[in-house]
Chain A
């Protein structure tokens, strides 16, 4: 009984960590530009696929991983420059449609470039499962959780203790005032796309050894990351992390105790419930401002 629960728990928070990284990506871009970037899932896919590609071409794993983060970050900046910036001031719906278009392009190019097969990345440190009270825990899960925690910590430090991070927050909260204090708000926009693409790619790399990867895994991972971001309260960093872990857990428990056939349906039922009953999510903005 306990062993089974623990098993669901492990797989839930492992995949939840990937959702959390994706949700952070949504949050970063949403805060900086009010765009909901539905190409976020493609960054996750690119991370996993590029890591496989670079590793197979003979690069050592750490170098392959680094490149598999940097290239998607560059793609993120390109999307901003080529697709978002030219239509500055467009309606949110148009911007969302543009990001969906960008995601189709990336997915199409990936299908052509990598083929439509399924790929796997070797686990970072062996495949010997660890036994925890009767449940098995893959070493890769520890990598996923550890690296995600480190990335979240780094991001937290960046926003709380660096002037560049605060400049990003300031731009998110009042673009004109940010310009008036001399912040290059376009640069902030680039940075937010690069950061969130890098975050997504990192998640894709970490999860690839556990789940296999293919050119089209980004759709589902991205949408679940979006559910996580909404559950946590769109625009809230802490909410994105908590939301990601919760979506992963609920999904794993639902799949385990109800039926694994509903695994993918659970997050989407969840988002309907959130939007009906608490549209601001768990940590949604409370209005404290005085005018």
Chain B
């Protein structure tokens, strides 16, 4: 299963595979990488997830779209184990991880770039990235750092500065880079384009596209439904904690309901 990574990696070209994923694309089995069954979760008495079921195959990019408060963030947090679930099951690579602690799930390969970036503000950019590799063997860290810097050159320039001094877009790149440092088998991206200028949105989506091309399995939660669905293999439309629609990305973009509700067409 070990992929051979050329450590002297040339600069990133979207066509060249990005060596972040620790899952070999050829390892694709019939069983889905992620299978969620009837997941429910609540904040106090408010039911945020009312039974969500979802599947993701290896190497697939799945978009979660829906309005604010539809439950996208809660769902991703529940997947990572930082939001308690009240019922349902999460199967990752065939294993039931529903009751595993968050750090154990991360060790299984579920890495998240959370909503609102959540970088470690007082720590330097490089420290943020190193902490992203907290669970990883030391000898791969230097190479992975260089790859993240290759992906986001602006981070390399500022590597000694506190992360809190970065602009919103740079913090977003740092949050994604931090998640990549964990060598994800499943990458969860929560609202990576939120609050960014259009040019940066494009840049962030280009990176997601490159990761997808590499064969990374990705769950992408986005309010920017059009961009997310255009990029994803399949999509789920969430409405107040339930799956309202699911289908391939192009199907959903073509769907009348989705067009009027989320794409403003």
CB within 8 Å of B: which A163-213 residues: 163, 166-167, 169-170, 173-174, 176-185
Interface residue from A166, A176, A288, A291 paired with B123 (Cβ < 8 Å): A166
Mask of A267-291 contacts with B, CB within 8 angstroms, 1/0: 0000000000000000000001111
User: Are A289 and B134 in contact, with the CB atoms below 8 A?
Assistant: no
A182 to B130, CA, bound (A): 12
Closest to B136 in A: A182
User: Are A163 and B131 in contact, with the CB atoms below 8 A?
Assistant: yes
A289 to B118, CA, bound (A): 11
B201 on interface, CB distance cutoff 8 Å: no
Given A176-B114, A183-B103, A184-B103: A290 in contact with B132 (beta carbons within 8 A): no
Given A169-B123, A170-B120: A181 in contact with B164 (beta carbons within 8 A): no
Query: Chain A contact residues: over half helix, strand or loop, or mixed?
Result: helix
Task: For the complex formed, measure the closest distance between the CB of B172 and the CB atoms of chain A, giving whole angstroms.
Answer: 12
**What residues of A have a CB within 8 angstroms of the CB of B182 in the complex?**
181-182
CB within 8 Å of A: which B118-171 residues: 118-123, 127, 130-132, 134-135, 162, 164-168, 171
Closest to B80 in A: A180
B33 on interface, CB distance cutoff 8 Å: no
A174 to B116, CA, bound (A): 12
Query: Chain B contact residues: over half helix, strand or loop, or mixed?
Result: mixed
User: Are A177 and B135 in contact, with the CB atoms below 8 A?
Assistant: no
**What residues of B have a CB within 8 angstroms of the CB of A290 in the complex?**
164-168, 171
A173 to B117, CA, bound (A): 13
Given A170-B123, A176-B118: A182 in contact with B134 (beta carbons within 8 A): yes
User: Are B114 and A180 in contact, with the CB atoms below 8 A?
Assistant: yes
A288 to B20, CA, bound (A): 32
Given contacts A177-B114, A181-B134, A183-B134, 5 further A-B contacts (CB under 8 A): A174-B120, A182-B106, A185-B103, A288-B162, A290-B165
Listed in ascending order, the chain A residues whose CB lies under 8 Å from chain B are 163, 166-167, 169-170, 173-174, 176-185, 288-291
A-B contact pairs, 22 of them (CB 8 A): A166-B130, A169-B122, A174-B121, A176-B77, A177-B120, A179-B80, A179-B81, A179-B103, A180-B82, A180-B112, A180-B179, A181-B111, A181-B131, A181-B134, A182-B103, A182-B134, A183-B103, A183-B131, A288-B164, A288-B165, A289-B164, A290-B165
